[in-house]
Structure 1
Amino acid sequence: MRKLIILSALLLSQTVFGQLSATLKANRDQFVAFEPVNMTVNITNLSGKPLTLQNRTNQPWIEFFVRDHTGRNVLSTKDVAYSPVSIGTGQTVASTFTLNNSFNLTNPGSYSVLAVIRMPGEGDRKGTPTQSTHFTVTRGVTAWSQSVGVPGTAGDQRKYRLITFSGDKYPELYIQVEDQKRGRMLATHSLGRHITFRKFQTSLDRQNNLHVLFHTSPSVACHTVINPAGRTIERTYHKNSATGVPRLLPTTSGNVSVVNSIPYDPQKEAEEKAKFHNISEIPGGVQQ
Structure 2
Amino acid sequence: MGRIAYVNGRFVPHGEAVVHIEDRGYQLADAVYEVWALFDGKLADAEGHFARLERSLSELSIPEPMSRRALTIVLKEAVRRNRVRDGLVYLQVSRGVAPRDHAFPAGQVRPAVVITVKAVDRAAAEARAAKGVSVVTTPENRWGRCDIKTVGLLPNALAKQKAREAGAAEAWFVDELGFVTEGASSNAWIVDGEGRLRTRDTNANILRGVTRLTLLDVIREEGLQVDERPFTPDEAVAAKEAFITGAGTLVLPVVSVDGRKVGDGVPGPVATRLRRLYIARAKATAI
Task: Please say whether Structure 1 and Structure 2 have the same fold, judged by a TM-score greater than 0.5.
Answer: no
Larger radius of gyration: 1
Flag the structure with higher helix content. 2
* TM-score of the aligned structures, taking structure 1 as reference length: 0.25
TM-score by length of 2: 0.25
Q: Larger relative contact order (C-alpha < 8 A, sep ≥ 6)?
A: 2
Greater fraction of residues in strand: 1
